[in-house]
Structure 1
Amino acid sequence: MTGRDQPCAFCAIVAGEAPAHEVLRTERFVAFLDVKPLFHGHVLVVPTTHVVTFDELPAPYAAELAVTTQQVQRAVERATGADGSLLIVNNVVSQSVPHLHQHVIPRRRRDGLRFWLGPRHPYEGAEHAAGVAAGIREALAADLS
């Protein structure tokens, strides 16, 4: 279930209750073709446990997600003849299904995808950047203690 008490589309796939073109299934992850692919071979890797965002994923699963994503990425690139790939995880913003999912999107040079990270917001100077970095270090220290 999602936080909104609606059925989770990805949990239904994990449970075998909804159809999907699976490419990999392990104890902790299922990988399947995206139903609205950017390009043919666009795969989603989802945990079998329902979590909404990356930070909710149990720490031992995070390393396994990275390894599983690498395996899927290599296979997608080989199977599609792609020049490379785009790997994306959306946390809440732009997350169309509220269940953690890693996108593996095959890419080719000049494929027409205009992936643009912007607008850019430069720091006001070195002091401003240092203050932001210090705040992040403090938040990390709090989490690690």
Structure 2
Amino acid sequence: MSQDCLFCGIVAGDVPSAKVAETDTTFAFMDIQPGSDGHLLVVPKSHSTDLCDIPPADLADVAIESQRIAKQAFDVWGADGVNLLNCCGKDAWQSVFHFHMHVIPRYRDKGKDRLRLPFAPGVRGEAELIEDLAVSMRSALEDR
């Protein structure tokens, strides 16, 4: 646990939250700045700063718990879809530096759903750039 971490405080019970679920390794609670009705967060109980820092076992536990909760959003809240979102780094919109997965129910009813896509789907990228990026990542992955 980190002394200065908001989410560590929530996990410890020192900071109030609307708890949804808890396992031996994860804690899920409602987001207080929701993008849609039912938007919640799943965090590892052990502090990890972000996606690059979290141990694989904790990442797997968060992913499994996120999936378990997401499946219920359809029946419990009548969601039409669900987004799982992780933001890694300030420039990727991370605002609390304790790894967390957003579980965001999505609705056709925009009174319940305030999110909008931050990019334009359906716009094709430059083929040569896409291939160059694929080659560079394949090479980096093969070297590790």
TM-score (structure 1 length as normaliser): 0.83
Using the TM superposition, name which of 58-67 and 15-24 deviates more.
58-67
After superposing on structure 2, the runs of 4+ consecutive aligned residues of structure 1 that deviate more than 4 Å are 118-121
The equivalent residue for 2:27 is: 30
Structure 1 unmatched runs, 5+ = none
Does residue 114 (structure 1) correspond to residue 113 (structure 2)? The answer is: no
Partner letter of residue 27 of structure 1? D
Secondary structure of the residue aligned to 2:143 is helix
TM-score (structure 2 length as normaliser): 0.84
- Measure the CA separation in 2 of the matches of 1:100 and 1:133: 27
- Residue-by-residue CA offset, 1:107-132 (whole Å, 9 max, x unaligned): 11252532232596822x43x43322
The equivalent residue for 1:72 is: 69
Secondary structure of the residue aligned to 2:34 is coil
The equivalent residue for 2:84 is: 87
- Measure the CA separation in 2 of the matches of 1:129 and 1:85: 28
Q: Is the 8 A contact 2:28 2:41 kept in 1?
A: yes
Using the TM superposition, name which of 18-27 and 103-112 deviates more.
103-112
> Could you say what the CA RMSD is over the residues aligned between the two structures, in angstroms?
2.2
Fraction of identical pairs, as percent: 36
Secondary structure of the residue aligned to 1:39 is coil
Q: CA deviation at 1:17?
A: 0.7
| Structure 1 residues 7 and 54: CA distance shift in structure 2, 3 A | same
Q: CA deviation at 1:36?
A: 1.1
Partner letter of residue 65 of structure 1? V
- Measure the CA separation in 2 of the matches of 1:141 and 1:115: 33
The equivalent residue for 2:138 is: 137
- Residue-by-residue CA offset, 1:88-112 (whole Å, 9 max, x unaligned): 1000120111111111111112525
Q: When the two structures are aligned, how many residues end up with a matched partner?
A: 138
